[in-house]
Structure 1
Amino acid sequence: MNDVLYGFIDYLLYEKELSQNTIESYKRDLEQFITYLSTIDTPIEQFTKTNVIKYMMILKKRGKATSTVSRSLASLRSFCQYLINIGILNKDPTINLKSPKQEKKLPDILTHSEVELLLSQPSNDTSKGVRDKAMLELLYAAGIRVTELVSLNLEDINLDVGFVIGGKNSSNERVIPIGKISIEVLSKYIKDYRDILIKNDNEKALFVNYYGNRLTRQGFWKIIKYYTKKANIDKKITPHTLRHSFAAHLIQNGADLKSVQEMLGHSDISTTQIYTKIENNKIKDVYKKNHPRA
């Protein structure tokens, strides 16, 4: 049995040219399945769909994540095709078996106090600090994606009316209102500090780096990582965390789902509905902590 498995590993390595990490995952999944077959005295050339189903159920009972069970089935499918190709199996025991449906993982969000703490980290009296604060405030105020943030030009923001254009020149283009705090910080950045950073008066980018060029996504990732560490917040924070927090906090404070969908630029409202689950979980937690009969 091991000879067959190692033959399959060689096939993945030399013919499919998969990465070492992927091959290790296949090997681990299949070794566990082969061990299971040995416990039920079933040769590899005789295992059935019933054996596969029972094995998947065992994995679930062991508390394995749905993603792990799905990956194990995918590994087994590939292995079965190999066994058919080399003549060990006549038919595929995994055919028509559906992978277990994976629940959508709720996005990580920050609490209101964590947002305040993060946004308070940049300096208020340096060009870099004010720029960084303006970016963080805008990301949370408008819920735009980091790609949209770094793609903004001066013309895409109107501080007098109080809005920013997200997803410009795409099917996702939308006008998003921004609040007075974000307007104040952006106004300060544009009027007093942006000219210090730019090297070319023709530069259109709203946010620029040390060299006066448009800030990149990678550049902003480094910025948010720096301030997360500075704030000593024990959570993994990405630019998308602020977008998730923007949506969740709006819904927590009574915003209707359709409006949040439009601001986020979601084509399907079911994508936006995940934020209501966060709110429902919060309500359940409050109930369990405070209801005398919970």
Structure 2
Amino acid sequence: MAHIHKRGDKWAYIVNVANDSSTGKRRQITKSGFRTKKEAQLAANKLEESILNGGVIRESNITFETFANEWLEYYGTQVKVSSVRARRIAMKHLVSTWGHLPLRKITKHMYQSRINNLNKEFSHNYIDSIHTTGNMIFKHAIRQDLIKTNPTYGFVMPKKHVTVEDIEEDEVKEKFLELNELKIFLRITKQQGLYLDYLCFATLAYTGMRLGEMLALKWTDLDLTKKTIRITKTYYNPNNKSTGYQLLTPKTKKSIRTIMIDDGLVDLFKAHKREQMKLKMKQRLVYEDQDFIFAENIGHPRVMKQVVLRLQRLMKHLDVDKHITPHSFRHTHTSLLIEAGAGVKEIQERLGHSDINTTMNIYAHMTKNTEEKTSHKFSELTKGLL
């Protein structure tokens, strides 16, 4: 039953809707500004009838931060841990602005403006991740009957303004090593690298594996006779603590694959196995043997941050102006496969790409040496035509 009351010189109504699941309190819809009590009563009656017929969504006063966290908990039951972490990080950029606001108060204009501002700070891919997260949150709110409209509807992804300086910087900071640069890097690593460094970066460069796939490798995944590596899992450790890791299923079904390795890499693995056996004996009182290939002194797999730090240390000795990360070796491997004459389908299978377009995009990162050879071949083929 609606409650009609006077507010100043105007009349208002309060209509009880239902209990708010976020607070346990009764939800109410209030409206004022009616000139007479009768007008307020008629409007309240109409609202109550609409509620009975399902015509009014019972909006909640739940805050954006509270609901976003509820959604994240629900989302975590549907996907892998790594996906939840990515969404949590993206979500922070929205919670920091709207956390205290009722979910229903966030408008299309507010949403578009927030993403536009974030676009000035972050890459297009990261902005897309933030928007995808926001869209999922508000869609879930719609499904829960907590809001009437989704503020992400009609959203327009802002374009990234690219300057001449950006283009020139991208050209300088290529994301893979040329063959001669890789040779120098591996020589430096062999001479100045610490335990596991040489095998680690040689494996990344010679297999094209993702870093997480490599760190998850166990000796049972390696067949030194057949010269194959079976990739079935990936290493996940967001806190970079030696014991805080998980072994998860790979990125996609296509990521589960068996790849061939060459004799040089086989010899490195054999030498490492002998060295690791000696280490196990020396550390036998504390060594926790879980069969990891890239295990540190007491048996735990190497953490990703350590790989990054070792790479940064070694890159200081390489005279190239490139932004090289562990993932760069995957692109390096791809470029070398292209130079060796491998086809797109072969590269797709070896890298474990589920979408061939991903492989095609990487194809654009051909080495300068390959481009020069292609140009030379074309010149030879067309000599005398002009």
Scaled to the shorter chain, the TM-score interval is 0.5 to 0.7
Contact 2:335/2:367 (CA < 8 Å) preserved in 1?
A: no
Matched pairs, number: 219
1:114 counterpart letter in structure 2: E
Paired AA for residue 296 in structure 2: N
Percent identity reads 20
Mean alpha-carbon deviation: is it higher for 222-231 or for 256-265? 222-231
5+ residue gaps, structure 1, are 1-10, 30-65, 75-91
C-alpha contact (below 8 Å) 1:251/1:275 kept by paired residues:
no
The letter for the 2-side match of 1:265 is G
Q: 1:283 aligns with which of 371, 376, 382?
A: 371
Query: 1: distance between equivalents of 2:155 and 2:114?
Result: 24
Please state how far the C-alpha of 1:253 moved relative to its aligned partner.
Answer: 1.8
- Cα–Cα, structure 1 residues 121 and 194, in superposed 2: closer, same or farther, change >3 Å? farther
**Are 2:141 and 1:141 aligned?**
no
Give the TM-score, by structure 2 length.
0.47
Aligned to 1:152: 217
Give 1:234's aligned residue.
321
Tell me whether 1:180 sits opposite 2:263 in the alignment. Answer: yes
Give 1:212 deviation, angstroms.
Answer: 3.4
Question: Which residue of the other structure, out of 149, 163, 167, is the alignment partner of 2:228?
Answer: 163
TM-score, length of structure 1 as denominator length: 0.60
Question: Is the 1:13–1:23 Cα contact (8 Å) retained in structure 2?
Answer: no
* Aligned-pair CA distance for 1:98: 6.1
CA displacement 1:90-120 (0-9 Å, x = unmatched): xx9x9575655999x9971110011111111
Q: Is the 8 A contact 1:153 1:204 kept in 2?
A: yes
Whether the 8 Å contact between 1:142 and 1:246 is mirrored in structure 2 is: yes
Q: Which has the higher contact order (CA 8 A, sep 6+)?
A: 1
Q: Distance in 1 between matches of 2:156 and 2:116?
A: 20
Task: Provide Cα deviations, 1:130-184, integer angstroms capped at 9, x if missing partner.
Answer: x221111111111000001110111111122111112335422100111122111
**Residue aligned with 2:357, SS:** helix
**CA shift in 2, pair 1:202/1:95, >3 Å:** closer
Spell out the pairing of 1:13-28 with structure 2 (5 A cutoff).
15-16=98-99, 26=117
SS class of match (1:165): strand
Say if 2:188 is the partner of 1:121.
yes
Amino acid at match of 2:213: E
C-alpha contact 2:353 2:359 (8 A) present in aligned 1: yes
More displaced 10-residue stretch of structure 1: 196-205 or 253-262 = 196-205
Aligned to 2:292: 205
- SS of the residue 2:295 aligns to: coil
> Larger Cα Rg: Structure 1 or Structure 2?
2
1:87 counterpart residue number: none
Distance 1:28 1:150, change over 3 A: closer
> Structure 1 counterpart of 2:202, which letter?
E
Counterpart code for 1:213: H
What amino acid maps onto 1:257 in structure 2?
Answer: V
Of 176, 188, 204, the match for 1:109: 176
RMSD over aligned Cα atoms: 4.5
Q: Deviations over 1:203-259 (max 9, x none)?
A: 311111244321111221122222212334332211110011101210122101111
Paired with 2:119 and 2:355, the residues of 1 have a C-alpha distance of 38
Q: CA, structure 1 residues 160+100, in 2 after alignment: closer, same or farther (shift >3 Å)?
A: same
Distance 1:27 1:124 in 2: 44
Unpaired segments of 5 or more residues in structure 2?
1-93, 102-112, 132-150, 163-169, 234-248
Q: CA deviation at 1:273?
A: 0.4
What's the secondary structure of 1:175's corresponding residue? Answer: strand
